């Protein structure tokens, strides 16, 4: 084959369009730890979900983490553990595809080998296809020690790098007694509560509680709005004074009961509740 022919073939190949990865509004739906994955992806700075791949993918222990250095998609530690970033510098319209495809690619690497020449836009398995749905371990951490294999933690340079990363992270803790409410400390203390229920029903329930002044986690707290991410609604609460996560356990339990009761109400919203709901919807934002 002549040089000109090879160039023509290369040009034709370059023109072949890749089918885009379809957008999925609720990418982690069906996974029992959906709320934790959403929290790790969107607002928990340091943490992971320890999972195991299916038999088809080798029954390998892996970490789905908040993010990795330099916005990396993932890497395989020298001890063989794959780390997949739920938040990275590249993504498609389906975050489950992204995580599943990166994990599959990492499993094909040798321990310590970097992930190179990987195009996340190529078709690949969803996370639901790659991992088991039982025995997952969720953790919010104060440090990023999970980035490196345990034997490297004694290295002074590694310790210094991990310390610098931890200093930039916003303190975050899971509210005791809840599955998906997360306290964080910024200019004020906030709680972001990932809800798995249908967002329209949650808005209705929040409106019913708001008009009764019951949309709070107890004295000194207030519901300030909500945002939508990964197909789920996340109500946000603000603390008027410095409040630790442990202090919110009782108030969170009481709010959960009130919310569940409100979710069961089938009557139409009153005029006042409709106005309250409209105000909540108008102020919400969507994260992508």
Q: Determine how β-strand 61-65 pairs with β-strand 82-85.
A: parallel
Check: CB of residue 114 under 8 Å from CB of residue 75: yes
* Burial classification of residue 13, based on how many CB atoms lie within 10 Å of its CB (0-12 exposed, 13-18 middle, 19 or more buried): exposed
Q: Residue 50 and residue 81: Cα distance in Å, rounded?
A: 10
Torsions phi, psi for 131 (to 5 deg): -115, 155
Whole-number Å distance between alpha carbons of 154 and 33: 33
Query: What tokens were used for 71?
Result: 């916005």
**What is d(CA 285, CA 288) in angstroms, rounded to the nearest whole number?**
10
Q: Residue 8 has what pLDDT? A: 53
The Cα–Cα gap between 49 and 66 comes to 9
Q: What is the pLDDT along the chain (288 residues), one digit of tens a residue?
A: 555 555 554 454 444 567 889 999 999 999 999 999 999 999 999 999 999 999 999 999 999 999 999 999 999 999 999 999 999 989 999 999 999 999 999 999 999 998 999 999 999 999 999 999 988 999 999 999 999 999 999 999 999 999 999 999 999 999 999 999 999 999 999 999 999 999 999 999 999 999 999 999 999 999 999 999 999 999 999 998 889 999 999 999 999 999 999 999 999 999 999 999 999 998 877 765
What does the pLDDT read at residue 287?
65
Residue 10's pLDDT is what?
47
Strand partners for 17: none
Residue 9: the pLDDT is 47
Q: Which residue do the tokens 């009761």 mark?
A: 261
Confidence (pLDDT) at 3: 52
Sequence-separated (6 or more) residues with CB below 8 Å from residue 241: 220
């Amino acid at each position: 084959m002549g040089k000109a022919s090879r160039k023509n073939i290369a040009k034709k190949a370059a023109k072949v369009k890749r089918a885009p990865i379809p957008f999925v509004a609720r990418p982690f739906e069906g996974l029992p730890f959906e709320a934790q994955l959403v929290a790790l992806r969107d607002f928990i700075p340091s943490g992971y979900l320890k999972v195991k791949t299916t038999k088809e993918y080798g029954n390998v222990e892996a970490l789905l983490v908040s993010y990795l250095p330099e916005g990396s998609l993932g890497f395989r530690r020298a001890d063989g553990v794959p780390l997949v970033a739920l938040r990275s510098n590249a993504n498609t319209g389906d975050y489950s595809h992204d995580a599943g495809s990166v994990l599959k690619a990492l499993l094909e690497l040798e321990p310590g080998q970097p992930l190179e020449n990987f195009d996340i836009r190529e078709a690949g398995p969803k996370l639901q296809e790659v991992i088991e749905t039982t025995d997952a371990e969720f953790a919010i951490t104060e440090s990023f020690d999970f980035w490196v294999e345990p034997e490297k933690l004694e290295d002074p340079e590694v310790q210094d790098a991990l310390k610098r990363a931890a200093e930039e992270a916003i303190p975050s803790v899971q509210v005791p007694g809840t599955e998906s409410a997360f306290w964080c400390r910024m200019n004020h203390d906030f709680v972001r509560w990932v809800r798995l229920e249908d967002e329209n029903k949650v808005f209705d329930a929040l409106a019913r509680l708001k008009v009764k002044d019951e949309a709070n986690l107890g004295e000194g707290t207030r519901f300030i709005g909500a945002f939508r991410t990964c197909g789920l609604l996340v109500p946000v609460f603000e603390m008027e004074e410095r409040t630790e996560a442990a202090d919110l356990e009782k108030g969170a339990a009481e709010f959960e009961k009130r919310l569940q009761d409100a979710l069961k109400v089938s009557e139409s919203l009153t005029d006042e509740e409709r106005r309250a709901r409209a105000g909540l919807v108008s102020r919400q934002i969507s994260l992508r």
